[in-house]
Amino acid sequence: MTGARWWKQLFGRGKAVALDAERTDLVVVVSSFDDAEACSTALARGAETAPAWNEQDEAVLRHHLRLPGDSVDRAVELAAQDGYVMASDPVDAPRVEVSDGLVAVVLQRTQTLDALHCSQEKSRMAGLAQRAGGTVVGWDALQPPRDAAL
């Protein structure tokens, strides 16, 4: 066995594999649908309740928005510049109006989650929703259960 190969087997394979947002075993580990709640407070709560948020691991951060139907495509396009995709949006799926002409939209991306970055993303989504004529309902984060292998 070569030296480099032995080293990798002993100490891991190098760069970790990114969390796949399409995994079927992901569970909500933290959420906040109260605009006044600080991300740090929500994350502290998520770390203390089951299933527990693990600050060491990546999470799928999802933002729940209500947007006018005619602004959804542009909002998704803008969010994509920051690595967001619309969650579970099959091609040509009908957009469901939830109230007052607004459509429910969930934008998500995989990232390591901490209070600072969560707060920044929460503000980013609030600005995006406001420019589009909509509103942010809240956010949540998903991770595999702690006993699940990545």
pLDDT > 90 fraction of the chain, expressed in percent and rounded: 71
More confident residue, 18 or 75: 75
pLDDT in tens, 47-106: 999 999 999 999 999 999 999 999 999 999 999 999 999 997 544 455 666 778 899 999
Domain locations along the chain: 25-143
Q: Which of 6-10, 15-19, 84-88, 118-122 ranks highest by mean pLDDT? A: 118-122
**pLDDT on residue 8:** 46
CA 134 – CA 53 distance, rounded (Å): 29
Which is nearest to 99 in space by CA: 127, 67, 132?
A: 67
Instruction: Tell me the CATH architecture of domain 25-143.
Output: 2-Layer Sandwich (3.30)
